[in-house]
A and B are shown apart, each in its own frame.
Chain A
């Protein structure tokens, strides 16, 4: 059953069309990934779904409630974790959680009890009495997620939950998201990290320039990518690393060049040797050559037609 239904959702800022009549549904209990480069419309979409931004056009129903008619009712069943850790520096971790609980009408004693439980679950038990300003970035992200679920929402919106934090904290947060999902929560996740979406989400939507370019299950998307065969070469000679030049050399393949790496996408299974031989003819040493397993990243490139610069934006944020 769809818990989020979006039909023709549109947002204009003056003349700028930020979100252009998008449609999608999120099933109850799934992790739905919302991917796209910077400025694609991800945060604007979340803001419209959660009531932080006015909807210009279209309809949004969350748990059957019309977002435009009863936004406060919607806000009582959702939790939002913004891309910035926006808790209060002056308050301790535990007081922050109790305060956030109180915003949803939960008495302080109960908020403190839930807060202690979440601090333990998130590995922040020792830091509960310290002020938020003393937390590391990873700890801040974890506490911000805890604050987003203190009122036990049915749906959790996570905006870039692992951006800008260390690898260990990012892994812990991914595990926590997995745990929340196993507890039955619906999670709407925007991320710059395609690998993260591939690992966590059951379905993903790619949004580019305010439009959803593709929406499918991760499995189906990867299946599409498997129809393509990808070879990667690391070359020595920079002379041949011109994309147009290489494209002319290999007209039946799709060529991508990034620094000294060349990716060759072919519609049929192809061995590495013919390419290594051709590079050799061009007086270009091949340091490394391999066949790649197609990833969601490859699907994104194929679907959006994004170049490697755009892809870097998607990957790095």
Chain B
């Protein structure tokens, strides 16, 4: 009970002070619209909304979670308010889960904003919504934990932003969303396979459009493995670097 009170308070505080602020809410709406517009300008032709929906959902989540978490944690570290959390009698794994839950929820909401927009533009019949939900949740989790990985690696807020982009932008082009995996140079393909977004985007594509490079079960397993690996690695680094 005591643990739950602490957990929910950290989550509630982060939601109200960071994620539910007007700039972040508007980001969640503007970002998918901007990506949709970019696709339209690129092709100059009427778009198949369902075709681009998995990509826009994936990128909305990726961009909404990684830098938000990395920046908020780095910000709290710089102000030393994060030490207040480390001094609380709360297990470190639970503490970090509480800190990341806000970003995960924010990512899930971000992921469904493009779906809401698409609902008014096209027919969304035949979509495997269970797989969509699982895909959105797991992309949110892996992207958030990537943000945690970045937060542990940097000291300054601007470094968190820079480091986030260092990971995110290559991901856009390597995850198979815009450039099919089979057309990537063979020497670069292994990079695609070590990116969680490759599996997340593929799972969403399979759920929305009925095709993908990997079996959905394999993508799910890969995303779970990435989530667990990133979380454990980050916790290890927190122990090594922040409780030195």
Contact = CB atoms under 8 A, between A and B. Distances in A.
Q: Do A and B bind each other?
A: yes
Interface of A: 13, 50-54, 72-73, 75-76, 80, 82, 84, 86-91, 99-100, 102-108, 147
B13 interface: yes
Dominant secondary structure of chain A at its interface with chain B: loop
Nearest to A107: B5
B243 A99 contact: no
A86 B83 contact: yes
Nearest to B16: A90
A84 to B, nearest CB: 5
B6 A104 contact: yes
A147 B88 CA distance: 12
Interface of B: 1-3, 5-6, 8-10, 13, 17, 79-81, 83-91, 243-244
B243 A51 contact: yes
Contacts of B80: 82, 84, 86
A177 B17 CA distance: 32
Contacts, number: 68
A104 B1 CA distance: 11
A221 to B, nearest CB: 31
B125 to A, nearest CB: 44
24 contacts: A51-B243, A52-B83, A52-B87, A53-B243, A53-B244, A54-B244, A73-B89, A75-B87, A75-B88, A80-B87, A82-B80, A82-B83, A86-B80, A87-B84, A88-B13, A88-B81, A90-B17, A91-B17, A99-B13, A102-B6, A103-B9, A105-B2, A106-B5, A108-B5
A104 B83 contact: no
Contact of B3 (A53, A100, A105): A105
Contacts of A99: 9, 13
Contacts of A72: 89-91
A240 to B, nearest CB: 48
Contacts of B87: 50-52, 75, 80
A86 B81 contact: yes
B6 A105 contact: yes
Contacts of B10: 103
Contacts of B17: 88, 90-91
A224 B31 CA distance: 72
Contacts of A82: 80, 83
Nearest to A72: B89
